[in-house]
Structure 1
Amino acid sequence: MIRLNTVLTLVATAALTACTTLGPNYQAPAPNAPANYRAVASSAGAELQRDWWLVFGDAQLNALEAQALQASPTLAAAAARIQRARAVFGATQADELPRVDVGASAGGLRTSAKATTTPVLNGRAITFEGESFGLQASIGWELDLWGRVKRQAESAQAQLDASTLDAAAARVALTTDVAAAYWQWRALADEAAALQRLRDSRAKAFQVAQTRFDAGASTTQDLERVRAELAAADADVADLPRRQALVLNQIAALTGQAAADLKLEANGTLPLPPAIRAGLPSELLQRRPDLAQSLAQLHAATAQVGIAEAAFYPSIKLTGSFGYSSEDLGSLISAPARLYNIGPSISLPLFEGGRNKANLAGAKAQVDESLAGFRGRMLQALREVDDALAELQGRAATMDAQNRTLASSSQALAVARSRYDKGAVSYLDVTEAERTPLATERALAQLRGAQWAATAQLVKALGGGWAPADTATTASAAR
């Protein structure tokens, strides 16, 4: 019993002194964000929420987003990655606790009389025969003297956080892609209406030109010019269904349904998008889940350095067993049948061919790579916001110029129609005056679509309304 007390005292002393955790502690790097974006960002505008698309008040878009969130294989795969990371974290936590096993055995035994190890007495082989019963419990526990197990749990927790943030980033990307494709389809519907009006005008112009040519009042050159313009309008009209079909196929794929089952309605002319508040560059780290995911990966890599350093130091394991063994089942649970074995084991690496040094160098290189990846992702995030703001501002300026063009050309068309009513000009002059305003209407429809696409780009660049508190919501939803 003195030996057992000595062992337990040794183990307790070692456990009390096991307060060293090797490796650097994780510290989040400074984002080094500029004071402002290069493009001028308005301080006014809508604040993005987690379900950011609701601010636009489009019931059809709301339904598409709900369908995508429910049926997307991308989000299902992200949820599975969370479950896998949670399982790894749970297994790592189990390493911090002792392992206890219980077993029982029963069997018959007879030794061989012909074996080379059989004892011989007076020229006769001695054999043994009987039954054996056993009941035993064993325990194993590694003392975390250098914090290796702690660092493993820390790394697994960071990987779980990274998986959860990956799911949040996938949600942002999915919802913005659905909205961008939907708005593109709406813009194509507006463009189709404007293009059809332009084509009808070209058809009327061709009829007038044909009549004038038949009457000898115009040249072949004039007739062929109008014919070419009609053919170009026909080509644009014929190509539009292809463009619309491709967008519908994209929406169907994003929402997890067959394109044949997708039914959309234009619901009137696509309006101008509302302004979105961009905020400051320093807020991006709290708004974009991919940036937070990059930091979680850096945290995991930092913890791996401590694990690699712990491999240079000795490991102490406490193992023991207690139980009973007897040839008679009736006397199995009795003091004479009792047995136990307890004691620590120490392992110290002496020669491993440089493996531990290589692993440590690799872990440190992984930290450097993760840090560089975060900085690169931060720069990319700043660029994406600046690109979206520049796109919105540039399209707004172009639209303002196109609106002035439309106002002036519409006035010119009104004058041409008034003069036609008075017999001062032919109808061909009226159709010529229709050319600019109809083409401008088509250009404006395209510009509105481009503004909505830039709005989706800005929402995505700003993180789609994600907030750090949403990480816990995403993780619990995957349970």
Structure 2
Amino acid sequence: MNTKTLIAFAVSLLAGCTTVGPNFQPPAAQAPASYRSVSATSAAQGVTLQRDWWQMFGDAQLNQLEAQALQASPTLGAAAARIDRARAALGLARADDGPRVDVGGAVTDLRTSAKSVTTPVLGGKAIAFDGTQTTLQVSAGWELDLWGRVKRETEAAQAQLDAASLDAAAARVALTADVAAAYWQWRTLADEAQVLQRLLASRRSALQVVQTRFDAGAATTQDLQRARADVAAVEADQTDLPRRQALALNLIAALTGQAAAELQLQATPLAAPPAVAAGLPAELLQRRPDLAQSLALLHAATAQVGIAEGAFYPSLRLTGSFGFQSKELGDLIAAPSRLYNFGPSLTLPLLDAGRNKANLATAQAQVQESLAAFRGRMLQALREVDDALAELQGRATTQQAQQVALAASQQALAVSRQRYDAGAVSYLDVAEAERTPLATERALAQLRGAQWAATAQLVKALGGGWGQL
């Protein structure tokens, strides 16, 4: 049996070996049957999020802000660059699985030494060579992936590309939710400003009545100071409101990539937000890109174990070259000028001072770290949904109580006005009765803002329609 036959037999034998390292198996997601704040039935009620989820609110101004944010965000730009980098890394990994062919040429002026131990001797006289040599050569090399190490490298690179794409999707979800939350906060402050204006007008009217009565000797100093304190308290809130509105506008401008001075928004009253279907906890893995990204990173770490194991096994490389070499350029492409070589090379690691073992231990530890990170992120995702649902449920209950209080206070105000028209009470009694419904309206405006903020939080916690059309 000649050498070529032995090599072919060895290659066929080694090629039957299995791929090194463990195959990736997604871990079981430990999710409860339903969320704590809602039942499985009620969690299915409400609108289902789509990819461009903000469009379900029918707000053209919000749609424009979201489009600007998606176009101008440096965060999304950086995420896109990471995808390109991961795609290039995948191309490099795939290139290692094929042969490499190089073409080269050289023109060399050379002279060999007449005093070297390798100098040929003819008739007792050393022969030195002097002249110009031209070489044209094609060389090729191919490392046979006998153990699947290169396959694992490609697998790891593909998983890293998936993780980069999912990271960009998670960044998109976070950005769009943050834009909506900032926008709804600004609109809430606009609603609150209108209520504050009416409340301030009411308390100033009450102060004027008290001042008149005090001048006539019908009211005490305590009544006057109390009325003044009420006016001052509302004025303080009203004075602070532009600061809060400016901060909200600044945040919107930063998220949408424009200067705050150029941002022109029209405020309209906020209604109650629509209910969003939360679904089941087990669906979070398909709904949240950050969870899918965590799994992709675990996949890449698992493939790295196979790469580390591959270092313990021998590697077989086939190399060869073919070309022409001649001292005369005219004789370069001729049969006598041909040169070639071909031969396999086998490398078996023997002593590496524990390097391969350390690399394998590092890869295995990375798998455990990635697994723990996935489980931690899953728990965090469940908590975020539960928090948002609890916030929505709690705010809705509080709003119902405030609506009852508002109806009662408005009825009391109507009675007070009727008695004032009949001459039974003074205008001060009417002003006092007007205080409660206006304060309740302000609380309701703040509650609506909190509900919209919780809606943005829930959208973000549910993955913002990722994976949907």
Question: Which TM-score band applies after superposition, normalised by the shorter structure?
Answer: over 0.9
Structure 2 distance, partners of 1:203, 1:342, is: 100
Structure 2 distance, partners of 1:211, 1:323, is: 113
Return the letter of the residue paired with 1:17: L
Against the structure 1 CA distance between its residues 123 and 7, is the aligned structure 2 distance closer, same or farther, given a 3 Å change threshold? closer
Return the letter of the residue paired with 1:156: A
1:365 aligns with 2:365: yes
1:199 aligns with 2:196: no
Equivalences for residues 398-437 of structure 1 within 5 A: 398-437=398-437
SS at the partner of 1:77?
A: helix
Structure 1 distance, partners of 2:101, 2:122, is: 43
Cα deviation, residue 106, structure 1:
1.3
Structure 1 distance, partners of 2:124, 2:8, is: 51
Return the letter of the residue paired with 1:28: P
SS at the partner of 1:107?
A: strand
SS at the partner of 2:15?
A: coil
More off after superposition, 105-114 vs 403-412: 105-114
Q: Which TM-score applies when normalising by structure 1?
A: 0.93
1:374-409 deviation line (CA, Å, top 9, x unaligned) = 111111111111111111010000000000111000
Structure 2 distance, partners of 1:332, 1:35, is: 78
Aligned match for 1:17, one of 14, 17, 27: 14
Cα deviation, residue 419, structure 1:
1.5
Structure 2 distance, partners of 1:265, 1:173, is: 24
The residue that corresponds to 2:383 in the other structure is 383
Structure 2 distance, partners of 1:23, 1:119, is: 54
Cα deviation, residue 182, structure 1:
0.6
The residue that corresponds to 1:110 in the other structure is 111
SS at the partner of 2:325?
A: strand
1:54-85 deviation line (CA, Å, top 9, x unaligned) = 11101100000111111111111100000000
Runs of 4+ in 1 over 6 A off after TM superposition: 113-125
1:191-212 deviation line (CA, Å, top 9, x unaligned) = 0100111111111111111111
Structure 2 distance, partners of 1:264, 1:76, is: 26
Cα deviation, residue 108, structure 1:
2.1
1:175-204 deviation line (CA, Å, top 9, x unaligned) = 111111111111110001001111111111
The residue that corresponds to 1:447 in the other structure is 447
Cα deviation, residue 116, structure 1:
8.6
Structure 1 distance, partners of 2:326, 2:59, is: 79
More off after superposition, 335-344 vs 232-241: 335-344
Structure 1 distance, partners of 2:266, 2:234, is: 24
The residue that corresponds to 2:354 in the other structure is 354
Return the letter of the residue paired with 2:23: N
Structure 2 distance, partners of 1:221, 1:70, is: 59
Structure 2 distance, partners of 1:254, 1:12, is: 64
Unaligned runs of 5+ in 1: 471-479
Return the letter of the residue paired with 2:170: A
Determine what percentage of the aligned residue pairs are the same residue: 73
SS at the partner of 1:17?
A: helix
The residue that corresponds to 1:314 in the other structure is 314
Question: How big is the alpha-carbon RMSD for the aligned residues of Structure 1 and Structure 2?
Answer: 1.9
Cα deviation, residue 15, structure 1:
4.9
The residue that corresponds to 2:154 in the other structure is 153
The residue that corresponds to 2:131 in the other structure is 130
More off after superposition, 147-156 vs 353-362: 353-362
Aligned match for 2:30, one of 29, 32, 51: 32
Structure 2 distance, partners of 1:146, 1:83, is: 29
Against the structure 1 CA distance between its residues 243 and 12, is the aligned structure 2 distance closer, same or farther, given a 3 Å change threshold? farther
Equivalences for residues 231-242 of structure 1 within 5 A: 231-242=232-243
Contact preservation (8 Å) 1:15, 1:143: no
Contact preservation (8 Å) 1:381, 1:461: yes
The residue that corresponds to 2:93 in the other structure is 92
The residue that corresponds to 1:458 in the other structure is 458
Return the letter of the residue paired with 1:25: N
1:273-318 deviation line (CA, Å, top 9, x unaligned) = 0111111111111111011001000000000000111111111111
The residue that corresponds to 2:273 in the other structure is 273
Cα deviation, residue 111, structure 1:
3.8
More off after superposition, 197-206 vs 396-405: 197-206
Unaligned runs of 5+ in 2: none
Against the structure 1 CA distance between its residues 81 and 123, is the aligned structure 2 distance closer, same or farther, given a 3 Å change threshold? same
More off after superposition, 17-26 vs 51-60: 17-26
